[in-house]
Structure 1
Amino acid sequence: MRKRAVTLKEELRASVRGGGSLHNSLKEFEHFMMTL
């Protein structure tokens, strides 16, 4: 179980890091909100 938690943590960090999928989604959302 601990190994799985470490893997999930690493995947989350990669997605939030600049250029990651979550990071890109948040930037798109931010841009959308600024255009309202």
Structure 2
Amino acid sequence: MLIYVVRPGDSVDSIAASHSISADSIIYNNQLSYPYPEV
């Protein structure tokens, strides 16, 4: 498991890209639902 501290300006897509994982896996594993909260 990877722990990432979300920073202002981060998005699900940018976090996924920076860790070479899919946005869908972040959404699923963190039980997010649309609309995603903005940081």
Higher relative contact order (CA 8 A, sep 6+): 2
Normalising by structure 1, we get a TM-score of 0.30
Normalising by structure 2, we get a TM-score of 0.28
Task: Answer with 1 or 2: which has the greater Rg.
Answer: 1
